[in-house]
Structure 1
């Protein structure tokens, strides 16, 4: 009997260890799907050769404080995570783009697998004349977000929609960067969406 109990305990320990090792970190939890983000395009197989992000579109998490801090230029869409570098690859400007209208009302939607206490959501857009074939940098973005939604520590619903307006004065191909700043950690989530005005 003691031998069998030892085997059972060992088996339970291995199962517990495998569960802990195979579980994504508790900090991996959100992305935009309207306008559709690059990570969602990868997850739904609209775009191929996406690497790991196709299995965890909610995991583009990096340091908060953007634009003063946060991921380095050229690594913004992947939130600075090398394992998601495919999100920073501009693919020659060929990512599928959502058609939008300059200055028009829009419903920006996030999907969460965990809804952290939140500071705010900020939405940035690229400047007129930016180069859509080069990785995203701070210099390519308008310096101020065109939409900020404060949460003051509240938790958003698992599907969250922000009503706002697309920025005015934009034509052609652009990128929208959505940043979800978590209130009770040092992290934020980054989501890049290609759009065509």
Structure 2
């Protein structure tokens, strides 16, 4: 092999890994949010309520498990925590179906639904990977009137969960 060609080959082989590591990584598809009844991020996405960056990524409200806020602890999604923003309130029955739309189907431990500090429903998925659309029939028991529902999707293989708040009026 010619010395110049050998040097070029050595440089190319040595530099290629550095270039590969410095290229931007593909961003993951986002994750999921409640679309029916329309969650706060779904209302932002649809333009029903003026919001910040959540409008462009309604499926990205992710934070550590165990939070009790709509933004998942993300400052850029703080609009979701503002109860005065004029969120559309959905009339629902004492037993209502909630639909999640998932853009990345993570292995799931549980789905939980809270009204205030009261857990009104939990669905155990046992680590299975869900389909693109997930529906849960939530029974509100004796809870009635205007409520903010916190829906939580707990991921099985991370310490994170996805959060969505839905403003409802539970009819008796």
Give deviations 1:5-56, integer Å, cap 9, x for gaps.
x9xxxxxx7xx946x4xx54x37301111221100000011111x1110000
**Contact 1:51/1:86, CA 8 A, preserved across alignment:** yes
2:156 to 183, 187, 190: 183
- Measured in 2, the distance between the counterparts of 1:101 and 1:168 equals 10
Secondary structure, aligned partner of 1:59: coil
- Measured in 2, the distance between the counterparts of 1:57 and 1:17 equals 27
**Contact 2:63/2:73, CA 8 A, preserved across alignment:** yes
Aligned to 1:33: 35
- In terms of Rg, which structure is larger? 2
2:93 to 81, 95, 101: 101
Name the TM-score, length of structure 2 as normaliser.
0.80
Bigger proportion of residues as strand: 2
1:91 to 84, 101, 105: 84
Name the TM-score, length of structure 1 as normaliser.
0.71
Secondary structure, aligned partner of 2:104: coil
1:194 to 156, 167, 171: 167
1:147 to 114, 121, 124: 121
- Measured in 1, the distance between the counterparts of 2:32 and 2:74 equals 15
Give deviations 1:77-133, integer Å, cap 9, x for gaps.
0000001011011116x311110123xx3211100000000001001113xxxxxxx
Q: How many residues align?
A: 155
Consecutive unaligned residues in structure 1, runs of 5 or more: 1-5, 7-12, 127-140
- Measured in 1, the distance between the counterparts of 2:158 and 2:30 equals 12
CA RMSD of aligned residues (A): 2.4
